[in-house]
Amino acid sequence: MSKNSFKVFFLAMGIILESGEKMKQPTKEEIINKLKMILQGKLTREEVADWASKYVIQDEPNISDETVWELLQIVSGIDLKDSPDEYLHVEQDIIDWINKYSN
């Protein structure tokens, strides 16, 4: 393993980095930025949902900000589909979340 890479271990108590430290709590701005990156085509919905799910599925989430927790729950389902070719949440939903939580 290279010096700059790291492994993540999933434990019942949360996400622990190889160094033994817990992952840092994401910020509201970081989550909103990921939503914007979906709209810009820089990240896929699946990438963002997988990222958010790492926090949401923890038995004891290390999220103290209620707004961040709410956003993580929303974003963890951003890749849900209501048919084989259509997402449950349309682009306007993403724009609405950005606008709602940017204030």
In the chain, at which residue ranges do the beta strands (DSSP E only) sit?
8-11, 14-17, 81-83, 86-87
Helix (H) or strand (E) holding 66: helix 66-75
CA 98 to chain centre: 14
- Largest separation between any pair of C-alpha atoms in the chain: 43
Torsion of CA 75, 77, 78, 84, to 10 degrees: 170
Using the predicted structure, report yes or no on whether residue 17 has a pLDDT greater than 60.
Answer: no
User: What local confidence, expressed as pLDDT, does residue 6 receive?
Assistant: 41
pTM: 0.77
Q: How confident is the model at residue 18 (pLDDT cuts 50, 70, 90)?
A: low
At 21-79, the pLDDT tens digits run 567 899 999 999 999 999 999 999 999 999 999 999 988 888 999 999 999 999 999 99
